[in-house]
Amino acid sequence: MAINISTDINVTTGGKLTDIGQIQGGWRTVDNESDMYALTASAASKQKLQNGMMFYVSASNSLYTLDIAGAFPIVTYNFNSFTWPGSVGGGSTDTGSLLTTASVSNNDITFTKGNGDTFTITVDTGSVTSSADLSGLNSFTASADAEITALMAVTGSYAVTGSNTFIDNQTIDGLLILTTQSVQPTFISGGLYLDSEYNLYLGST
């Protein structure tokens, strides 16, 4: 039977109107999970439970909702944990342990966490030195360049494959070996050739 109250109920001298444990539904705070599960142990405590009501477990800093299913005489009570928006596991997120920035100096990388703490790791670059003495190479290249210059001054023009022109008098200390030609070459004034019969010809105008 409903009780109708036409005026406000005031609590004086620091008292309280009632305890949340005596009200059906509502937000409940319990010390641990065992206390929460114990609420389904008796008919009297079950009457104060309502489908969808929430529980905060202070020992584990976690949140639960109550799911009541079925009907008398078979009724099940399930406590389902959930996460409040912006929290992890019912608690707050420790942003101080998260990395926010990183900086590099030479082979050192420094990381900064949300609480301002930093830590540095050093990348092993091996035993490579930053500089090397190349003075020995410089003296070698200078000597080689001098020898090439001296060789060009003596020979003037030197023979390679193809056509070559020698300037001034040339002295050959040794044999001049001609390769025999099976076909008479194109006439060149002053040209010298040896045919396959070892006949020597000198081109003249």
> Quick one: pLDDT band at residue 174, thresholds 50, 70, 90?
confident
Distance of CA 166 to the CA centre of its chain: 66
Average predicted confidence (pLDDT) for the chain? 79
> Is residue 88 scored above 50 in pLDDT?
no
Task: Return d(Cα 117, Cα 98) in angstroms, integer.
Answer: 10
> Is residue 90 scored above 60 in pLDDT?
no
Region 85-92: what's the mean pLDDT? 50
> Is residue 183 scored above 80 in pLDDT?
yes
Residue 67's pLDDT is 92
Residue 82's pLDDT is 87
> Is residue 3 scored above 50 in pLDDT?
yes
Token code pair at residue 95: 């942003």
- Go through the domains of the chain in sequence order and give each one's CATH number: 20-82 (3.40.1620), 94-121 (no CATH), 176-205 (no CATH)
Which among 83, 29, 26 has a CA at the least distance from the CA of 55?
29
> Is residue 40 scored above 70 in pLDDT?
yes
Bond from prior residue into 185 cis (ω within 30 degrees of 0): no
- What is the sign of the dihedral through the CA atoms of 102, 105, 106 and 109? negative
In the DSSP assignment, the letter for residue 126 is T
| 129-170 residue pLDDT tens | 666 676 667 777 777 777 777 766 665 555 555 666 777 787
Q: Please report, in angstroms and rounded to a whole number, the separation of the first and last CA atoms in the chain.
A: 148
Hey, is 166 helix, strand or coil? coil
> Quick one: pLDDT band at residue 93, thresholds 50, 70, 90?
low
Are 21 and 46 in contact by the 8 Å Cβ rule? The answer is no
Are 23 and 36 in contact by the 8 Å Cβ rule? The answer is no
Region 1-10: what's the mean pLDDT? 78
Of the two residues 143 and 70, the one the predictor is more confident about is 70
In the DSSP assignment, the letter for residue 18 is -
> Is residue 200 scored above 60 in pLDDT?
yes
> Is residue 204 scored above 90 in pLDDT?
no
> Is residue 31 scored above 90 in pLDDT?
yes
> Quick one: pLDDT band at residue 106, thresholds 50, 70, 90?
confident
**What is the length of the chain?**
205
Percent of the chain with pLDDT over 90: 15
Taking the CA atoms of the chain, what radius of gyration do you get in angstroms?
53
> Is residue 114 scored above 80 in pLDDT?
no
Residue 79's pLDDT is 93
